[in-house]
Amino acid sequence: MKLKALLPPRPHGEAGWIGRVLTAGVAIAVLVTARPADAWVWAVLGVTFCVFLVGSMLMASRPYVAFGLLAAVAVCNAVIAGYPQSNALVLVLVAITDIAVIDFKRHGNRPIIAAGLGVAAAYAVSAWLFDQSDSWYFTQLLWAAVLTAFGLNRRQYESQARQTEQLLEQTQLAQSEHARAAALEERGRIARDLHDVLAHSLGALSVQLEVAEALLAERSDTEGALERVRRSRKLAVQGLTEARSAVAALRADEVPELPAALAALAEQHEKDHGTAVRLTVSGHKRLESGVTVALLGAVREALTNAAKHAPGRIVDIRLVYDDGVRVSVRNKGVTSGEGFGLAGMRERLALVGGTLTAGADGDDWLVVAEVE
C-alpha cells in the first residue's frame, strides 16, 4: 500500500470543493427565507453573495484577493444584519469562516484579526442604524467568534494534512535512498569477498607453481612438477567455484555458520598444502552475515600467508565465543607472515566493528581477529 493512501483528503482538492458547494447551498437556503421590506437589501444580498462565490474560488490561488472580497462581504452584510428579516448574518458567518481558513503565510492571523474588528465595528453600526439591543449585538459577536474558531480549526487540520503529506514524501525519499545505499553496500560486500577469495586462491596457486618450478630447475623432477601443476589446476578450479559460491551466498545472504565454514577452510588447506590444521571451537553464537564473512576472510588470508612463509608447518585455529567472537590463527615455528591482504582485512573488520592484530608470539606468528 502506498503511503499517500494513508493521507486525509487534500484540503483544496475534491473534499474542499464539496465543502464550498455545501456552504454555498446553506447560504442560498437561508437567504431564500429572507423577507426584507426594501429592494436595496435584496440587491446588497445578491451582489455580496456573488462576491462571496468568487472569493471562495480564489482562496487557494489568490489568497489576498480572496481575503479582500470575503472581508467586503462580511463587513457589508454585518452593516445590514440589523435590518429586520434580512438574514444577512449567514453571509457574514460563511465569509468570516472562509477568511479564517486562508493560509496567509508570513502575515499569520493578522488579516483574520483585522477582518474580525471590521465585522465587530459593522455590527455596532448596524445596531445603531436599525435600533437593535445590546444583547443582539453581543449575540452577533458570539456567532462570529464561534464560526471564526471553527474556521481556524479547519485551517489547522489542513495545515497538518499538508505537513503529513510532506513528511510522507520525505519518508519515501529516505526509504529510496536507504534502499540505494543498501544496494551499493551489497555490491561492495560482493566485491570485497571476491577479492578475498581470489587472493587466497591465487596465493595458494602461486605457492604450488613456485614448488613446481623449483622441482624442475633444481631436481629435474618432472613427475613431482607435473603433480604440482595438476594441483595448481585444481586450485584454480576451486577458486573459481568459491568465487561463484561467494557471489551466490552474498546475494541470498546465506552465509554458513562460522564453525562449519572454518572447518571446511581448514580441511581444504590440509588437502592443498599437506599441512596439519587444528581447529578448536569454544561456545556458540549466531553472527550477522557481514561479521562471518569478515572473519572468514581474515582466517583465509592468514592461512595463505602461513602456506607462503611456513610450508608444511602446523597451523592452529581457535574460535572463541564470549561477549563477542574471537578467531586466532597461530603458525608454528614462524617469525613473520603478515602480507598485504591482512591490511585489507583490517579495513573489512573495521566496517563491522572488529579489529585485527598480527605479530610474533615467541617463536610463532599469531593473527587475531575479533568483533565485540
Kindly write down the DSSP assignment for every residue of 20-78, as one continuous string: HHHHHHHHHHHHHT---SSHHHHHHHHHHHHHHHHHHHTTTT-HHHHHHHHHHHHHHHH
Residue 7 confidence (pLDDT)? 40
Q: Mind listing the pLDDT tens digit for each residue in 107-161?
A: 667 787 788 888 888 888 888 988 888 888 888 888 777 777 766 676 666 667 7
**Residue 56 near residue 10, CB atoms below 8 Å:** no
- Measured CA to CA, the distance from residue 27 to residue 23 in angstroms comes to 6
Grid cell, residue 129, equals 442604524
Residue 16 confidence (pLDDT)? 57
Residue 9 confidence (pLDDT)? 42
pTM equals 0.42
Residue 3 confidence (pLDDT)? 42
Helix (H, G, I), strand (E, B) or coil at 181: helix
- Measured CA to CA, the distance from residue 307 to residue 334 in angstroms comes to 11
Pairing of strands 277-282, 315-321: parallel
Residues of the chain whose pLDDT is less than 50? 1-15, 252, 340
**Residue 162 near residue 11, CB atoms below 8 Å:** yes
Residue 344 confidence (pLDDT)? 67
Burial 259-274 (b: 16+ CB within 10 A, else e): eebbbebbebbeebbe
Between the two ends of the chain, the Cα-to-Cα distance in Å is: 39
Backbone φ and ψ for 150, nearest 5 degrees, come out as -60, -45
Rg (Cα) of the chain, in Å, rounded? 42
Residue 22 confidence (pLDDT)? 73
Of 316, 285, 303, nearest to 342 by C-alpha is: 303
Residue 14 confidence (pLDDT)? 41
Helix (H, G, I), strand (E, B) or coil at 154: helix
Judge residue 6's burial from the number of C-beta atoms within 10 Å of its C-beta, 0-12 exposed, 13-18 middle, 19 or more buried: exposed
What stretch of H or E contains 282? strand 277-282
- Residue corresponding to grid cell 599441512: 275
Kindly write down the DSSP assignment for every residue of 76-123, as one continuous string: HHHHSTTSTT--THHHHHHHHHHHHHS--GGGTTHHHHHHHHHHHHHH
